[in-house]
Amino acid sequence: MTTPTPESIRSGDARAIARAATLIENRDPAGEALLRALFPFTGRALVAGLTGPPGAGKSTLVSALAAEFRLRGLRVAILAVDPSSPFSGGAILGDRVRMMAHHGDSGVFIRSMATRGRLGGLAPATGDLSLLCDAAGFDVVLIETVGVGQDEIDIARLAGVNAVVLVPGMGDGIQALKAGILETASLFAINKSDRPGARELAAELHAEAPEIPVFHTVATEPPASPGAGIRELAAAILNARPTAARRTLLWRWRLREMLLERLASRIDDARLAAAAGQVASGARDPYGIVEEWTAG
């Protein structure tokens, strides 16, 4: 596989973008070199996160939003980060929904990533893919995640604007969200809001966070016939461009993740295994090892 050139990415070449995305996901040094060359051409895209519990209809909502952005002539990249269990067919189903809705439209780029349980690895890769799509000229980058883990908070912190998606009638809908996800919210979307309990959920959200606007949506398939509230939500996302202070805060989080990923990649696995054997047998204490290895 030849490494794509910065020029091929900037021209929007779909195959080059897909190849670059693979290099980036694999943490190939060629991917980082490409991103360094592309960085001066980033900063134009609006990066929006959509986070919520399983079953909130995020994939369908993202698809409907993408269709609405396309109607406005905007190019859209969708990054779907799925931490679901290997038992679940959710990831594959979500992919199918997205693929069918936007098949053959070169103005939509779709990439799904499964979490791999690697500490610190997922958010940096997602952030790098977001920069790639930005440099490739996509106007909007939609990052879809399930809001139940620390990974997802880290990913939500990549986005200039964050929609937290909930549905009425899921008893533990709000409770199932990881503490911290709500702090990342720029706006709430109550999806499937034609179901009973939508008004009560809106009131509950308003009581908890009165400053965050609440939108009611009914994302339907096919997204070509826009569901209720999609246009309003799309407009709100477009209007929520982050301030310079917000962008600095996002980079602060992101730089920290990038530093930790780099430091983690330098830990020598063989040396670690040997030290672990010594600790397990009681020959050495782990605190002394950490002190020794991080001294100087």
Residue 208 binds a copy of itself, judged by CB under 8 A: yes
Query: In angstroms, rounded to a whole number, what is the distance separating the alpha carbons of residues 104 and 12?
Result: 15
Applying CB under 8 A, the site for a copy of itself has a residue count of 74
In the bound complex, what is the minimum distance in angstroms from residue 234's beta carbon to a copy of itself?
Answer: 25
212 binds a copy of itself (CB under 8 A): no
In angstroms, rounded to a whole number, what is the distance separating the alpha carbons of residues 208 and 260? 33
- Residue 18 as a binder of a copy of itself (CB under 8 A): the answer is no
User: Would you count residue 244 as binding a copy of itself (CB under 8 A)?
Assistant: yes
Token pair 């991080």 is found at: 294
Query: Taking CB under 8 A as the criterion, which residues in 142-201 touch a copy of itself?
Result: 148-154, 172, 174-182
73: contact with a copy of itself by CB under 8 A: no
Contacts of 258 by beta carbon, 8 Å cutoff, 6+ apart: 124, 127
Q: Which of 14, 22, 36, 203 binds a copy of itself (CB under 8 A)?
A: 36
Which residues, 215 to 234, sit near a copy of itself by CB under 8 A? none
Question: Where in 79-108 is the site for a copy of itself (CB under 8 A)?
Answer: 83-88, 90
Applying CB under 8 A, does 137 fall inside the site for a copy of itself?
Answer: no
State yes or no: residue 239 binds a copy of itself (CB under 8 A).
no
Compute the C-alpha angle 42/43/48, nearest 5°.
115
Q: Which is nearer to a copy of itself, 238 or 279 (CB)?
A: 279
Q: Is 141 in the site for a copy of itself (CB under 8 A)?
A: no
Q: Which two tokens stand for residue 92?
A: 């594959």
User: Is residue 275 at the binding interface for a copy of itself, with CB under 8 A as the rule?
Assistant: yes
Q: List the 214-216 sheet strands across, edge first.
A: 108-114, 76-82, 140-146, 46-52, 161-166, 187-190, 214-216
- Roughly how many angstroms between the first and final C-alpha of the chain, as a whole number? 41
115 counts as binding a copy of itself under rule CB under 8 A? yes
Closest distance to a copy of itself from the beta carbon of 212 (Å): 13
Q: Is residue 290 near a copy of itself by the rule CB under 8 A?
A: yes
Pick 169 or 288: Cβ nearer a copy of itself: 288
Adjacent-strand bridge partners of 79 = 111, 143
Residues 6+ apart with CB under 8 A from 290: none
The nearest distance, CB 67 to a copy of itself, in angstroms, is: 27
Query: Which of 7, 200, 221, 285 lies at the binding interface for a copy of itself (CB under 8 A)?
Result: 285
How distant, in Å, are the alpha carbons of 160, 186, 234, 240, 285 from that of 243? 9, 13, 19, 9, 48
User: Judging by DSSP bridges, how do beta strands 161-166 and 140-146 pair with one another?
Assistant: unpaired
